[in-house]
Structure 1
């Protein structure tokens, strides 16, 4: 098994940051609605190059939004079984 660094170890490191949406997100949302949520909920620039992670209500689906030089990239993952477990909610900003 490959050991991955904890999110706390990555926080503050140079390079892109990882933001986790604390509330469930409608997985029908596309690039523009997710980018709008990044701006309105946390006040971050969706063009910053950071990774913004959104989880479905049931927890089996995940979307990651990022800006890559000339356009948005949207990764979408659906688990065949089980759910994504994310850290506890950040009370300050609504994101993890």
Structure 2
């Protein structure tokens, strides 16, 4: 990918079925691996033309929550819990 893994970038990889994402991050001391699997649905993944895609922190946050980051919509929230 011709990038420096020690520069603080996050590297996100998706599983074959699309419901698993793994994030690699080097914090200056060591490499961390985070994994997230969706109970329902799939991660909306950007199309890669050159093997790597840059997205913003907000787009990544939407993507890891299973929200379509290309067109985020407000959703219904309950008025009270319980």
Deviations 1:34-62 (A, max 9, x none): xxxxxxxx111111110111000100000
1:95 to 52, 57, 60: 52
In 2, Cα distance between the equivalents of 1:73 and 1:60? 20
1:46 is matched with 5
Q: How many pairs does the alignment contain?
A: 53
The answer to whether the aligner puts 1:82 opposite 2:41 as a matched pair is yes
Larger Rg: 2
Q: CA RMSD in A?
A: 1.0
Large movers: runs of 4+ above 4 Å: none
The answer to whether the aligner puts 1:63 opposite 2:22 as a matched pair is yes
In 2, Cα distance between the equivalents of 1:57 and 1:47? 27
State the TM-score, normalizing by the size of structure 1. 0.52
Runs (5+) with no aligned partner, structure 1: 1-41
State the TM-score, normalizing by the size of structure 2. 0.60
